[in-house]
Amino acid sequence: MDTHERRPVATTDAPKAVHGPSVWSADEIAADGRWLYQLSDVEVSELCKAAASLDQEPLDLRQIDKDCFPLPEFAPVLADLHQQITEGVGIVQIRGLPIQDIGRRQSAIIFWGLCRHLGDEVVSQNAKGHMLGHVQDLGQSFDDPYSRGPYTHERIEYHSDACDIVGLLCLCPAAHGGESSLASAGLVYNELQRQRPDLAEALLQPIYRDRRGEIPPGREAWYAFPVFNFSDGRLSVNNEPSYIDSVARFFAQDPNTPAQHEGLALLEKLAHENHIEIPFEAGDMQFINNHTILHSREAFDDANGLGKKRHLLRVWLLDYEGMPVSDAYYQRNGTPETHRRPGGIVGSDTKPHALLDTL
């Protein structure tokens, strides 16, 4: 195929810098403790009460929304935390859930209930329809073009997911490593524009990505849209390094330009130089704005023994009133006519479900 004929075209008149609370340096965010929220005993009690009222068999998490997970005391706090995720620094880490006392099952119910207060819709994270993701080392490797980062122990480069808000609950931390590394996408964009505006421009153009076998009906095995996107003057960033690296297998020559690859390498370097590293404790719940935060995970080693492997639960959320994103995001899945917001991953026979089975 002639990739020059098929390459989507984007015209850009992008600003040379973006501003706002989501544009921060590592020193600034480390000194600003607002992103870390410690649960009070009263809040823990309310969360446990709400979970206990729903903990029965059979339990379908997909039927739980914020109306059936009432939090009269904590809900106003969650509204403020939601504002911090969507309009503030883009990070919230909720600490203090006593997972050792209440168990993994009720912790998962609490996590899901909080997610339904913080987002409007839960979307599938893969073609298998997983709406409650289990992030564990399953022996996969990025050398396999069909692998996924959550199922390896390897370091994951700075990237974005297919949603508005990413939520994680730590059931068990790693024996060594596995820290969550977060960087301001706005700061990285500004630095790229300052240091190498030619490479920033390259990342404002559509860049090809591999679907890694998760192909929606009627779509190609690959798709393309920019890393840097603007809508209503606001920057949103979407980067998928491993998916970009493996897309060349579909073409006679790499469809992405040398300038784009150089830009991605500099993006990774700048994110690493300006990141904050957050270790996970058991019971920690982390929520980030997927459009303003680039996130990474350090490589890790698991402890030996039943129930001692690093295990996180993950949810992808759509926020209907969230920041505007360009229609280019629909290249991944759906259309503006069929989906209120772009997000999620589907295949030809995806059946959404939220399983607690591996808890």
Give the pLDDT confidence score for residue 2 in this predicted structure: 42
Work out the average pLDDT over 34-39: 94
Taking the C-alpha atoms of residue 184 and residue 169, their distance in angstroms, rounded to an integer, is 21
User: Residue 230: which of 277, 288, 198, 186 has the closest Cα?
Assistant: 186
Domain annotation for the chain: domains and CATH numbers: 3-331 (3.60.130.10)
Are the CB atoms for 37 and 81 separated by under 8 Å?
yes
pLDDT digits (tens, 9 = 90+) for 173-218: 988 877 889 999 999 999 999 999 999 999 999 999 999 999 999 9
Lowest mean pLDDT among 12-16, 18-22, 70-74: 12-16
Are the CB atoms for 111 and 285 separated by under 8 Å?
yes
Work out the average pLDDT over 281-287: 96
Give the pLDDT confidence score for residue 359 in this predicted structure: 60
What lies within 8 Å, CB to CB, of 122 at 6+ separation is 62, 115, 116, 131, 315, 316, 317, 318, 354
Mean pLDDT across the chain: 91
Give the pLDDT confidence score for residue 5 in this predicted structure: 38
Taking the C-alpha atoms of residue 167 and residue 312, their distance in angstroms, rounded to an integer, is 10
268 versus 310: the higher-pLDDT residue is 268
Binning pLDDT at 50, 70 and 90, where does residue 33 land? confident
User: Does 277 score more than 70 pLDDT?
Assistant: yes
Taking the C-alpha atoms of residue 36 and residue 259, their distance in angstroms, rounded to an integer, is 38
Taking the C-alpha atoms of residue 112 and residue 75, their distance in angstroms, rounded to an integer, is 14
Give the pLDDT confidence score for residue 20 in this predicted structure: 97
357 versus 141: the higher-pLDDT residue is 357
CA angle 200, 205, 207 (to 5 degrees): 105
Lowest mean pLDDT among 117-121, 162-166, 295-299: 295-299
219 versus 12: the higher-pLDDT residue is 219
Phi, psi of 171 (to 5 degrees): -85, -40
> What would the two tokens of residue 184 be?
């301001």
User: Does 122 score more than 50 pLDDT?
Assistant: yes
CA angle 117, 278, 291 (to 5 degrees): 55
